[in-house]
Amino acid sequence: MLGKIEYAGGNHDSFEQASDSLRRLGELEISPKHVQRITCRLGRERADHRDRQVRALKDRRLVPVHVQPPTTVAIHLDAGKIQMRADDGRVGVREPHWSDTKAASLETYTTTARDTDPRPDPPEAFLDPVYVRRLCQEIAQVRSKPSTAPTAPKPSRRRQRSPDPPRPERLVRTAVATTGNAETFGWLVAAEATTRGFYGARHKAVVGDGGNGIVPLTELHFPGWRQVLDIVHLLSHLYAAATAAYPNHAHLAWRLYERMLRSAWSGNVPDVLTALTEQLTRLNGPPADKQHPADNPPPPEGKRSAAENHPPPDGKRSAADLLRATRNYVTTNATRMDYPRYRREGLPTSSAPIESLIKQFNDRIKGTEKFWNDGGGEAILQVRAAYLSQDGRAETHYTRRPRQRAVGNHRLRIA
């Protein structure tokens, strides 16, 4: 019965819906508040078990569950958002604010390593202007509910697609999530990877979007692993840079995007940087040390330059700024863009699994009228992560937990 209540409380949109579902489908009369208490208590139990694993890892006592390690593994990392509130015991929402949730998808794959690049050319979808535009629009909404922003219509006719080469097939996924800081999150992911024997795998990678928090986490807990920059996030940066370089010439923008995409897909990072530098030079002119003083005289005293008279709108960057940011992004992640090698080793190059996982977490915890306190938000994340994992941990928890008192306002009242 507790399992049914926890499943309903952790996977329905709200405790009210969970209570209604239990009444209609399970013939169980239980109030939404009671569903909340039981679900959060079980979530805290799962968090305690998770924290014990971290302590065992720090004491070098944590061992893998299975003797035989997997062959090919990947850890996908990303972050989402959650609305929090003050936890002062009173009814109502006070001091609402946004906070981060951090999530990881730990996945095993079938072995598909080969001597040659199985896919030397980009997928046709990445060369479809309509699809690419819609994909880039969705990237900004990936951590939210389905966007109401207008998107490009789907093409009425698609050209005949060539058969795709075999890709790594996912075997088992487990999920880790927390509202804690980056250090806490790193230890949680490392403990989960140790339990599943990921450190003994032959091919292993950490896939992320190039965010600042992922690199130090990887270097600390996963040294020597392949660090892979998500190709979809890179695509969105290149597309934004190309459209900024040619805002009024769609054909030229697309040609620039396709050139950079093909270079990135083949691992030719210098060509991507050259293309971005060429566009910066075109927009800003030659570098200052190569300009003749007469070509760019200073403005008269008391006068401002044209750029100062027409600054970019608030919240918007100029085309040059966006191109410069994209170049910095590519430069910073250059060592994570050896995509031909990753494909030969059978490693994933897209963070689509973690983007999908973030959306599944958001289905439960994120909403315009959902405000969590610290304990409640963390507990629900653990319940949700357990049922999104594919190793049976959601049910296994009940085989090891001791029987306890019921939960309720009158649980200690004498009959």
Residue with tokens 């003083």: 293
User: How open is the CA angle 205-207-208, to the nearest 5 degrees?
Assistant: 150
Question: Domain for residue 282, yes or no?
Answer: yes
The alpha carbon dihedral of 98, 104, 348, 358 has a sign of: negative
Domain presence at residue 139? yes
Mean pLDDT of all residues in 357-366 = 93
Is residue 125 over pLDDT 80? Answer: yes
What pLDDT does residue 407 have?
Answer: 55
184: nearest Cα among 81, 100, 76 = 100
Which pLDDT does position 69 carry in this prediction?
93
* Range picked from 267-276, 290-299, 396-405 for highest mean pLDDT: 267-276
- pLDDT surpasses 90 at 405: no
Number of domains in the chain: 1
Taking residues 180-206, report their average pLDDT: 96
Global pTM?
0.84
Q: Which residue has the higher pLDDT, 89 or 177?
A: 177
Note whether residue 374 is domain-resident.
no
C-alpha dihedral sign at 336, 342, 345, 351: positive
Reading the block at residue 222, the tokens are 């996963």
For residue 372, give the nearest of 141, 80, 148 by alpha carbon. Answer: 80
Answer whether residue 331 is part of any domain: yes
pLDDT in tens, 14-29: 999 999 999 999 899 9
Full residue range of the structural domain in which residue 288 is found = 119-156+231-299+315-349
Is residue 239, in this structure, part of any structural domain at all?
A: yes
Instruction: Give me the chain's average pLDDT, please.
Output: 85
Q: Is the pLDDT of residue 415 over 80?
A: no
Q: Which residues lie across from 204 on neighbouring strands?
A: 73
Q: Are 319 and 247 in contact (CB under 8 A)?
A: yes
Report d(CA 147, CA 362) in Å as an integer: 13
Residue 257 domain-assigned (yes or no): yes
pLDDT value of residue 130: 93
What band does 90 get if pLDDT is binned at 50, 70 and 90?
confident
Amino acid at 332: T
Ranking 120-124, 218-222, 311-315 by mean pLDDT, the lowest is 311-315
User: What pLDDT score was predicted for residue 109?
Assistant: 94
Q: What percent of the chain has pLDDT over 90?
A: 67
pLDDT digits over 377-390, tens only? 999 999 999 999 99
Query: Tens digit of pLDDT for each residue in 277-329?
Result: 999 999 886 554 444 444 444 444 444 433 333 334 334 678 999 999 999 99
Report the pLDDT value the prediction gives residue 115, as an integer from 0 to 100.
87
Q: What's residue 307's pLDDT?
A: 38
Higher pLDDT: 110 or 144? It is 110
- Would you state the pLDDT for residue 188? 97
268 domain-assigned? yes
Q: Within a domain: residue 263?
A: yes
